[in-house]
Amino acid sequence: MKKVACVGILVADVIVEPVNKYPDKGLLERVNSITVHSGGNAMTAAVNLRKLGTESTLVGKVGRDMFGDFLIKRLNEEGVKTDGIFVDNEVQTSASVLMLDGITGERTILHCTGSNAALTVDDIDFGVISENDIVFVTGTFLMDRFDGAETAEYLRRCKKMGKITALDVCWDAKGSWSRLLDPAMPYIDYFLPSIDEAKMLSDREEVSEMADVFFDKGVKHVVIKCGSRGCYCRYERDGKGTMIPAFRIENPVDTTGAGDSFCSGFLAALSRGEDFLDCAEMGNATGAFCVTQKGATSGTPTYEEAKKFIKERK
């Protein structure tokens, strides 16, 4: 089984629920709970991969503070290797406040990029990378210094080392999109954006046309996460695209981390050498499990549980 290094953002998520009404300035609104969870794309993927039975390493940066200590402790508890984490005395650990709608479970987020914005290629121990087979960069557009040329250089070096590369992005609030990501495209084996992000990166409306754009920029394989519709998968430029439907979940609890969970499932299957479309189906399954519980990693099943779920639902 292949080992996976998850490179990118890790975040302390403070979750508030239910938030059915926002108080006016200076006033108070009561909620049922305020809890702290591990979050951030790379951390979610690394923890989920371990729960799915794949050995994972987290590569990123935290501050020397209570949130940083909390995240490293959580990683150790989950069996994720932390020798790739750089602790920086000069920055605070990235954190988010997530306010969950009491009816839909949809999230509204306040986010401080903190240590994630300070990550650079120089912070990464390539000795750690050499011990892994798959390198997953996730959190692009929230890593101010690492985004752009540094991501491209990092992935170029990974490909030179013979690694399988994968990349997922976050929403780019600054609007840089392709200008930042295009230099890295030729070094991405598996590109895993959501459909909304894919629209912005391709300036196209149809998933097949989005994939064409990504292939033309150098990506080897494309998977576009389409939310409740499932995912669109295409292995190569001249191949046929396939839409794999999502698994329906009644009364979802929390959508936090569903996209990251999809990537975890996809990579867990890839680490086992499964077929491309089977990897995508596993991604759909782990994404479905994710929304059944609060937090980005709480609902993650074992690999065997996910395979049984897929078999039963099909």
Do the beta carbons of residue 246 and residue 284 sit within 8 Å?
Answer: yes
Q: How do residues 240-260 score in pLDDT, each as one tens digit?
A: 999 999 988 777 776 777 889
State yes or no: pLDDT of 292 exceeds 80: no
Average pLDDT value over all residues in the chain: 93
| Residue 71 identity (one-letter amino acid) | L
Mean pLDDT confidence for 277-296: 87
Give the SS3 label for residue 80.
coil
State yes or no: pLDDT of 314 exceeds 80: no
Q: What is the pLDDT of residue 77?
A: 96
Question: pLDDT category, 296, cuts 50, 70, 90?
Answer: low
Q: Which CATH class is domain 6-23+31-313?
A: alpha beta
- Ordered by start, the domain boundaries in the chain are 6-23+31-313
Q: How do residues 155-198 score in pLDDT, each as one tens digit?
A: 999 999 999 999 999 999 899 999 999 999 999 999 999 999 99
Q: What is the pLDDT of residue 295?
A: 66
Residue with tokens 């050995």: 55
Q: What is the pLDDT of residue 278?
A: 97
Q: What is the pTM of this model?
A: 0.90
Question: pLDDT category, 104, cuts 50, 70, 90?
Answer: confident
By the 10 Å C-beta count (0-12 exposed, 13-18 middle, 19+ buried), 71 is classed as buried
Which of 211, 284, 6 lies closest to 128 in space, CA to CA?
A: 6
What are the residues whose beta carbons fall under 8 Å from the beta carbon of 241, sequence distance 6 or more?
A: 207, 208, 211, 232, 233, 234
Q: How do residues 4-39 score in pLDDT, each as one tens digit?
A: 999 999 999 898 999 998 899 999 999 999 999 888
